[in-house]
Amino acid sequence: MRRLVFLIAAIAVAPCAAEEMAKGFVYLRDVDPTILQDMRYAGTKNFTGHAVNGYDAPECVLVREAADALKAAQEEVKAKGLSLKVYDCYRPARAVKAFVDWSKLPDDAKAKATYYPALPKSALFPDYIALVSGHSRGATVDLTLVPLDAPAVPPSASSGEAMACTAARGQGAPDASLDMGTAFDCFDVKANTEVPGLAPEQRQNREMLFDVMRRHGFKNYEKEWWHYTLESEPFPSTIFDFPIEPRDAKPQ
């Protein structure tokens, strides 16, 4: 229901130039380069099967306040032998439009088997894919926890076979993250933050992520264990649409 509010709320379009990073936004890598980044929508490892419009570089971009809060959270989890890993951060409005356009296409059998095995495409909006996304305000992040000593796994690593995001660990593409009970971008009730049937380790891992993010000012979206928004976000009513460009393309 929270996302339905976005559809009827008065949402402002950012007045800044559409192709320029808005003032107040930063590259997370410039704030904390130790936070791992696996930016799924800049590549093919996502439910659309291709890089999404607006993701011109695999970089996490956020408002400064959210990036600083993540840096503080990273310091806490590093003391536990863990690291944050982000999957998505700021999302241009044009990318949200691309998701809507994708929803009108015929089902791709592999994508359905992997990302929404138990649901029709029509059921993905707005509970799992918002028609107007909080990500476009720059203070929302999708993330997980990874052991500090985990082996580096290329984001493109894949078994080559469609494997449901709800499948048991060890059966799908390697991710090196803690077991949260489902993969990222799993459009299924099992991805709800609090859901019956989780193994004790999975529930403990979700609670650990929830607790650390809450301590650093983030609130969770209850249908997605990986989705957090900074409660004191600086642009609560503004949607941005500048593309995510390579970090080295920006003047330093």
Given the DSSP bridges, would you call strands 238-239 and 61-63 parallel, antiparallel or unpaired? unpaired
> Is the pLDDT confidence value at 19 over 70?
yes
Across residues 142-157, what is the average pLDDT?
A: 75
pLDDT of residue 153: 55
CB-CB contact of 67 with 109 (8 Å):
no
pLDDT in tens, 112-126: 999 999 988 888 888
Count the neighbouring beta carbons within 10 Å of the beta carbon of residue 113: 15
Over residues 51-94, the pLDDT tens digits come to 999 999 999 999 999 999 999 999 999 999 999 999 999 999 99
CATH 3.40.190.10 matches 2-244 = no
Given a cut of 50, whether residue 233 has pLDDT beyond it is yes
**Residue tagged active-site, from 59, 224, 233, 245:** 224
Cα–Cα nearest to 96, from 13, 31, 22: 13
Tokens (6 digits) for 110: 């592999």
Confidence of residue 151 (pLDDT cuts 50, 70, 90): low
Note the pLDDT of residue 170.
57
C-beta separation of 40 from 109 below 8 A:
no
For residue 157, give both structure tokens.
């690593």
- Separation between Cα atoms, residue 199 and residue 53, nearest integer Å: 37
Candidates 207, 163, 159; CA nearest to 183 is 163
pTM: 0.89
At 136, the pLDDT band (50, 70, 90 cuts) reads very high
Please tell me what DSSP assigns to residue 233: -
Token output for 97:
């439009």
Q: Identify residue 216 by its one-letter amino acid code.
A: H
Range in 70-74, 87-91, 155-159, 190-194 with the lowest mean pLDDT: 155-159
Active site residue 19: no
Q: Go through the chain and tell me how many residues it has.
A: 252
CA torsion sign for 128, 115, 43, 50 is negative
- Residue 37's DSSP bridge partners are 86
CB 137 within 8 A of CB 235: yes
Q: Write phi, then psi, for 101 (nearest 5 degrees).
A: -60, -40
Residue 97: how many other CB atoms lie within 10 Å: 15
Dump pLDDT digits (tens) for 91-111: 999 999 999 999 889 989 999
**Residue ranges covered by each domain of the chain:** 2-244
Rounded CA-CA distance 140/69 in Å is 11
